[in-house]
């Protein structure tokens, strides 16, 4: 039990004994005392004044005295109008540091592997193009949420659903057949996913030419889009794929193989992975079986053209297509099948889908249809909806080839990290291999932190140059702070500075650092409840900022008082550990040296 919980309970007890007010300790709100006032935690007493029938100052003083008498760790209090500021003893803070410095997992709860797992789906790429900046936010958010939930005690299973079939895949396949001249990753020197993406763009270019030709002959635009020969041929290819046509299937397997190899390379560079990968080509048939079940139950209906729909107008939505008139499936079909398969595989407590907010409607429909099909676990489906990533020059469009490829972005980030590190002389003592590793983790730290520090629900503007600054709210700033602290701790070891229980009088800066450390367990719990790595990212920044403020005007290894020196080294070690743990939740490695 931490001090805020203890204080809240003591306040509740005081309210009961002094005024007969029944207040649940969980409803007692304590705030950090403002810097211009003396104290650590502040209670606003105005909500209790009416029942107490006394002036705010009198109520605050009476509660303060009662709590001080009940809790030895409360060294004093002061009252400013209706604000009661509690002062916590130095002995409490120093004991807290001494007790937790050696705990490498401070703030982290071990996963309970016997509990029903939480399944987190992320990435979910299409096999017609390489991963791009939008996928990076998805992958980093999915990985980090998984780490965050695990740090809060959940048994997490990370899964990926690869969208490896559908009309978009056929577009790349058809364009390669038409315009590829047998080009392969080996012959072109391109990563397989980039090569396939090239032909997705190529399809769109020729498709638009056909649309324009039809429109010039008098066909309306919408009709031209449907009648363009390339689109008709792609639709025919999809139908042949679903019928098991060997020629189409062989081409599909070959080109998907190129893409998977490319994806794996990018995932490795990003430092993300999965416990299980599902493929739409294996789940859409199960979805079709569920559609038939829905027809048999009367939950779904078939239109005259043979297409199958679910009427959701009674739920405030519209009618949703589940099977096209030619019998081919849509995204919703395979998502129904995948959800059922995943529930059978894991018996999950929650099924979390990390998908952009443009799919909010899709997941409302998914939950509704699963419920109508009689699956009681439909309410366990949760859509972790996140905002889009934009660049300073605007939105990205895959069909037009205006995306920022993930691989290209990582390359550019590593190049920038190297240039800035050399400029600041932060790698002079490292070997070439260590330097290369440092550039990589700085680049990824900058990229991941810049994306994850933003609330997931918000759209964001990604600025590569701003992300890799060594000052301000950035990953490299926190990484550099960790390296600086580890250097201090190493030197302390060389000087044989021992750590142990001590009684010292804390400076304001020391107390500030300790209080931020003290908030780590609550921060991780709150962030996990909100599925928000941003809360962890900004905590890490506040801790690094508090430490640097302390470091700049407080002697550590040059401190002459042995007890103070020991405490400060111990505090340094605990901060380094907390930074490492929080950055690990974000998937960011922190260097030992810079």
Q: The tokens 């600041």 sit on which residue?
A: 424
Q: What pLDDT is recorded for position 421? A: 81
CATH code where residue 244 lies: 3.40.50.620
Helices 192-216 and 167-179 sit at what angle, rounded to 10 degrees? 90
Residues 350 and 427 in one domain: no
Indicate the SS3 state at residue 93: helix
Instruction: Please report whether residue 591 resides in a domain.
Output: no
What integer pLDDT is reported at residue 166 of this predicted model?
A: 86
Per-residue pLDDT at 496: 85
Same domain, yes or no: 203 and 344: yes
- Together in a domain, 61 and 169: no
Q: Is residue 44 part of a domain?
A: yes
Do 385 and 472 sit in the same domain of this protein?
Answer: no
Q: Which two tokens stand for residue 528?
A: 């996990």
**Lookup result for tokens 């998805």:** 138
Burial class of 331 by CB neighbour count within 10 A (0 to 12, 13 to 18, 19+)? middle
472 within domain boundaries:
yes
* Dist CA 114 CA 398 (whole Å): 43
Domain stop point among 390, 420, 441: 390
* pLDDT for position 1: 60
Is residue 157 domain-resident? yes
- The verdict on residue 106 lying in a domain is no
Residues 82 and 126 in one domain: no
Q: What is the pLDDT of residue 102?
A: 85
Q: 414 and 288, same structural domain? A: no
Count of domains for the chain: 3
pLDDT at 111: 64
Is residue 353 within 8 A of residue 121, CB to CB? The reply is: yes
pLDDT for position 249 = 97
Are 71 and 151 part of one and the same domain?
no
Q: Is the domain of 361 the same as that of 289?
A: yes
Is 418 within a domain?
yes
User: From CA 193, how far away is CA 346, in angstroms rounded?
Assistant: 31
What lies within 8 Å, CB to CB, of 120 at 6+ separation is 142, 145, 146, 149, 156, 157, 158, 159, 352, 354
Q: Is residue 453 located within the same domain as residue 561?
A: yes
Of the residues 64, 88, 112, the one at which a domain ends:
88
- Could you please report the per-residue DSSP string of 408-463? HHHHHHHHHHHHHHHHHT-STTS-HHHHHHHHHHHHHHHHHHHHHTS-TTS-EE--
Q: Which residues contact 416 (CB under 8 A, 6 or more apart)?
A: 443, 464, 465, 468
Coil, strand, or helix at residue 472? coil
Bridge-partner residues for 126, per DSSP? Answer: 163
Query: Which residues are bridge partners to 30 per DSSP?
Result: 43
10-33 pLDDT per residue, tens: 999 999 999 999 999 999 999 999
DSSP 8-state secondary structure symbol assigned to residue 27: G
On whether both 385 and 441 belong to a single domain, the answer is no
pLDDT of residue 400: 46
Among 43, 63, 88, identify where a domain stops. 88
State the first-to-last Cα distance of the chain, in angstroms, to the nearest integer.
37
User: Quick one: 342 and 482 in the same domain?
Assistant: no
Question: Which of the residues in the chain have pLDDT under 50?
Answer: 394-401
| C-alpha span between 536 and 86 (Å, rounded) | 27
**What CATH number corresponds to the domain at position 34?**
3.30.1360.70
Structure tokens at 90: 């130095």
Residue 97 in domain: no
Domain assignment of residue 524, given as a range = 406-585
* Residue in the block written with tokens 């390489």: 130
Q: Are 116 and 359 in contact (CB under 8 A)?
A: no
Nearest in space to 456 (alpha carbons), one of 519, 350, 527:
527
Please give the model's pTM, rounded to 2 decimal places: 0.90
Query: Is the same domain home to 466 and 548?
Result: yes
Q: Tell me whether residue 69 is in a domain.
A: yes
Q: What is the CATH number of the domain that holds 524?
A: 1.10.730.10
Q: Please write the tens of the pLDDT for every residue from 305-328.
A: 999 999 999 999 999 999 998 888
Nearest partner of 112 among 159, 145, 142, 152, judged by Cα: 152
């Amino acid at each position: 039990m931490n001090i805020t919980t203890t204080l809240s309970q003591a306040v509740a007890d005081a309210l009961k004994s002094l005024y007969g007010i029944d207040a649940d300790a969980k409803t007692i709100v304590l705030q950090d005392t403002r810097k211009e006032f003396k104290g650590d935690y502040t209670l606003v007493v105005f909500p209790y004044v009416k029942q107490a029938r006394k002036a705010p100052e009198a109520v605050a003083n009476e509660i303060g005295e009662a709590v001080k008498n009940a809790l030895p760790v409360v060294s004093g209090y002061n009252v400013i109008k209706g604000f009661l500021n509690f002062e916590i003893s130095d002995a409490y803070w120093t004991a807290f540091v001494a007790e937790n410095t050696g705990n490498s997992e401070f703030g982290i709860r071990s996963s309970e592997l016997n509990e029903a797992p939480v399944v987190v789906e992320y990435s979910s790429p299409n096999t017609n193009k390489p991963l791009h900046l939008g996928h990076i936010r998805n992958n980093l958010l999915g990985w980090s949420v998984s780490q965050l939930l695990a740090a809060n005690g959940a048994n997490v299973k990370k899964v990926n659903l690869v969208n490896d079939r559908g009309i978009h895949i056929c577009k790349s396949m058809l364009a390669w057949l038409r315009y590829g001249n047998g080009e392969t990753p080996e012959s072109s020197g391109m990563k397989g996913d980039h090569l396939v993406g090239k032909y997705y763009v190529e399809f769109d270019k020729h498709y638009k030419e056909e649309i324009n030709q039809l429109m010039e002959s008098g066909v309306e635009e919408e009709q031209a889009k449907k009648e363009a020969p390339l689109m008709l041929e792609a639709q025919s290819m999809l139908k042949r794929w679903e019928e098991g046509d060997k020629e189409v299937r062989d081409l599909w397997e070959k080109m998907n193989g190129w893409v998977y190899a490319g994806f794996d390379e990018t995932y490795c560079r990003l430092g993300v992975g999965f416990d299980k990968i599902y493929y739409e080509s294996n789940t859409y048939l199960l979805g079709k079986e569920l559609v038939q079940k829905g027809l048999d139950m009367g939950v779904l209906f078939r239109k005259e053209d043979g297409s199958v729909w679910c009427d959701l107008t009674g739920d405030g939505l519209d009618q949703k297509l589940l099977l096209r008139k030619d019998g081919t499936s849509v995204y919703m079909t395979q998502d129904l099948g995948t959800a059922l398969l995943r529930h059978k595989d894991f018996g999950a407590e929650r099924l979390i889908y990390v998908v952009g907010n443009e799919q909010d409607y899709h997941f409302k429909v998914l939950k509704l249809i699963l419920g109508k099909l009689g699956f009681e676990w439909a309410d366990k489906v949760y859509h972790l909806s996140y905002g889009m990533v934009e660049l300073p020059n605007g939105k990205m469009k895959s069909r037009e080839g205006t995306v920022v490829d993930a691989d290209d972005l990582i390359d550019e980030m590593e190049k920038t990290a190297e240039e800035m590190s050399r400029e600041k002389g932060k790698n002079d003592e490292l070997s070439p291999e260590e330097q290369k590793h440092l550039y990589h983790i700085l680049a990824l730290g900058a990229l991941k932190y810049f994306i994850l520090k933003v609330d997931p629900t918000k759209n964001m503007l990604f600025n590569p140059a701003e992300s890799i600054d060594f000052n301000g709210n950035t990953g490299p700033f926190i990484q550099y702070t960790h390296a600086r602290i580890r250097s201090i701790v190493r030197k302390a070891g060389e000087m044989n500075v021992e750590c142990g229980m001590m009684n010292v009088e804390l400076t304001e800066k020391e107390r500030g650092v300790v209080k931020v450390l003290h908030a780590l367990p609550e921060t991780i719990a709150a962030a996990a409840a909100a599925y928000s790595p941003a809360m962890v990212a900004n905590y890490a920044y506040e801790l690094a900022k508090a430490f640097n403020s302390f470091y700049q005007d407080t002697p550590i290894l040059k401190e002459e008082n042995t007890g103070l020196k020991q405490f400060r080294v111990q505090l340094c070690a605990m901060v380094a550990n907390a930074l490492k743990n929080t950055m690990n939740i974000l998937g960011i490695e922190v260097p030992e040296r810079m």
